[in-house]
Amino acid sequence: MTVSRTRRAHLAALGLPALGLLAACGSEAAMPAKAEPTKAPAAAAPAPTTAAAMPTVAPTVNPRAGWPAELSLGLFAGDDQAKTLESNQPVVDYLSKKIGLPIKWTTGSSYSAVIEAMRSKKVDGMIVGPFSYLLAVQEANAEALAVEISTRGEVFDPKISDYYFSCISTKKGKGIKTVQDLKGKSFSFVDPASTSGHLVPKTYLKKQGLDPDKDMKPIFAGTHPSSILALWNDKVDACASTEENLYLARDEKQIEFAGFADNTVGKVRTAAEVQALFESAKDGQIAIIRISDPIPNTPFNVRADLPATLKSAMKEALLAAKDDAEFVKKTKRWYTDPTQKLGLKNLDAFYNPLREIAKELELDLKAMK
């Protein structure tokens, strides 16, 4: 999971034009004694001021009108709720400081649980995967504010794209070298509503003539780390996960993984590069056999019925995160809006390619909660 367009806060106070009043006064000139004096016309008395003549003062606009006293954001808890909250707390701390509202996280046991919390207005915004966002638009009136960029580095890098990648991996030496070898094998997906952990790899497998429900032995591990560990612990023959989670599991010494030498995620790789990497892996290492096409990154989205000024303030704060070096270092993320760069009607249109996937394969997003 975030599709640039920058929103500015609509908080300017209204100014009043200065009004000037002009007063004219006459004077009487001295004349010769025998001459008929010429009298200057008497100055007109000022007209009485009436209520209608008073300048109209525009009422003061409260830029925070309709704002809630507190915001609640939804998050998929994953396997470790405490760790998930800890890693995401800097986001609400930053956002709270920027917009001047207390914010709290609320976790759900699944993507669909978080979406339901938004639908019932128990949360005001959430961070879920792109396909889950599409479901949230459909079911919970969600609106994307910005695209989240997650990186392995600690500084802002404008060259990092707005996309991420799903991987299908196996253990070298299991007799699986291509996706065609997955027929009859056990396979770990993440969550039914997970974009990179289920819907994208499932779409690809179907295009390759494999029906995971009939031709494979699928399970749902619940989270990306759990899906990877199911493979590492030989509970399945292959798995789906994000590319980044493979590197993270390796860095945390949970698995042995044959990654690319440049140690970079979010980069388009050719089929030849993936094949060469697989061939270079050692037996027993987790190795990638397929990297997906680019997937739009996760959006930071909120309920569309929140006050426009609040949504604008949140968007501006998110897009400014890249300029906060401490925030980027601590969270390894920032936010973008690729709308203008890609010539899109709005940020929601950034996710239309996923809608096309759902339409092409007749995927029922509701059934994949």
Residue stretches of the chain with pLDDT short of 70:
1-59, 361, 367-369
Q: How far apart are CA 79 and CA 221, in angstroms?
A: 10
Query: What pLDDT was estimated at residue 12?
Result: 35
Q: What is the pLDDT of residue 358?
A: 83
Please name each of the domains of the chain with its CATH number. Answer: 71-155+298-360 (3.40.190.10), 163-295 (3.40.190.10)
In this prediction, residue 25 carries a pLDDT of 34
* Beta carbons of 130 and 298 less than 8 angstroms apart: yes
What's the confidence (pLDDT) of residue 120?
A: 96
